[in-house]
Structure 1
Amino acid sequence: MEYLILGLAVVVIIVALSYFSNLVKKPKKGQGGHAKSKAGASSNANPGFVTCPVCNTPLAKGQNLISKVYRPMDVPDQRCTINGCPHCYPRPEPGIRRQCPCCKKEIPLNGYLIARLFNYKNNKKHVMVTGCSECCKK
C-alpha cells in the first residue's frame, strides 16, 4: 500500500512540474514582438525586454516603436524608417539621447533610422538598421 501511495505522489509531482514549466515557456498571446506598420522592429528571447534602437531605452509591455514600412508588401525585403519610441519621439525625455547605432552621431528631432525589414516565409520578421537620416545622406 505504501508503494502505491508513493507512486501516486510521484506521478502528481511530475504532472504538476510539467504543467508549470509549460506556463513559463509559452508567452501569452499578444506579447510577441512582430513588426507592424506602426509597431516595433525586433523581438528578443524574452518578450517585453526590447530596447529602442534610437535611444537604447528598454520598452515596457505595450509600448511600441513608431515606424513606417513602405510598399510593396508582398516582397521579402522592404524599406522602413524608425522614428523612435515614446521615450524619444516626438520629444525626448530629459536625459535621453537619440544616437545612430551605425555612425554613433546624434539624430536630430526630425531625423530617423533607415532599416530593412525582412519577411520570412514562416511569418517571422527581422529588421536590420543600415544608418540614420544623417549618415545615409552621403
Structure 2
Amino acid sequence: MEYVLLGGSLFVLVLLLNFFINYKAYGKQEKEWKRRRQKREEAAAKGLLVNCPLCNSPLYPGEDLFTRVYRPMSVSDQLCIIKGCPHCYPRVEEGLKRECPVCHKQIDGKTGHLVAHLFNKTSDGKKHVVIAGCNLCCKSKLN
C-alpha cells in the first residue's frame, strides 16, 4: 500500500513538473512572439521593411539574407552571392516560389542563388547591391 501511494505521488509530481515547464516555456515563447510583432509594426510604420529578392517575402527586423561576399574588401565593387532569406533558404516555406528577378526562371532551393555586386560607398558608409541575375543566367558572366 505504501508503494502505491509513493508511486502515485511521484506520478502526480512528474505531471505537475511537466505542466510547469511547458507553461513557462509557452510564456517565454509568447513574449518572443509579442516582441517580434511589435518590432514588425514599428518597422512598417517607419517604412523599413525590405523584401527578399528571391521569394519576395518581407524581411522583418532581425531577419537577414544569407549571402557570401568575396574578397578583396578594399575595392568598391565586390562579387556577392545571395542564397536567400530565412523563409526560402535552406528550406523553402510552403507557398513560396524562388524566382530570378532578371530572367524570371524558377531557382532551385539548394543549389540556386543570385549573383550580385556589392558597392561600398565610403562617403556615407552605406552599401548598395545590384543583382546581375541567377547562377543560370549569369553563368557566362562568371566564366
TM-score by length of 2: 0.63
Unpaired segments ≥5 residues, structure 2: 1-45
Aligned residues: 95
Q: By how many angstroms is 1:137 displaced?
A: 2.1
Q: Distance in 2 between matches of 1:135 and 1:83?
A: 15
Task: Please show how residues 92-131 of structure 1 align to structure 2 within 5 Å.
Answer: 92-109=92-109, 110-121=111-122, 122-131=124-133
Aligned to 1:97, what secondary structure does the other structure show?
coil
1:1-38: per-residue Cα shift (whole Å, max 9, x none)? xxxxxxxxxxxxxxxxxxxxxxxxxxxxxxxxxxxxxx
Could you tell me which of 131, 134, 142 is aligned with 1:132? Answer: 134
Name whichever structure is richer in helix by fraction.
2
Q: Distance in 2 between matches of 1:82 and 1:112?
A: 6
Where relative contact order (Cα < 8 A, 6+ residues apart) is larger, the structure is: 1
Unpaired segments ≥5 residues, structure 1: 1-44
Larger-gyration structure (1/2): 2
Q: By how many angstroms is 1:136 displaced?
A: 1.2
CA RMSD of aligned residues (A): 1.8
| Residue 65 of structure 2 is aligned to residue 83 of structure 1 | no
What stretches of structure 1 move > 3 A for 4+ residues in a row? none
Aligned to 1:50: 50
Amino acid of the residue matched to residue 128 of structure 1? V
Q: Distance in 2 between matches of 1:54 and 1:117?
A: 17
TM-score by length of 1: 0.65
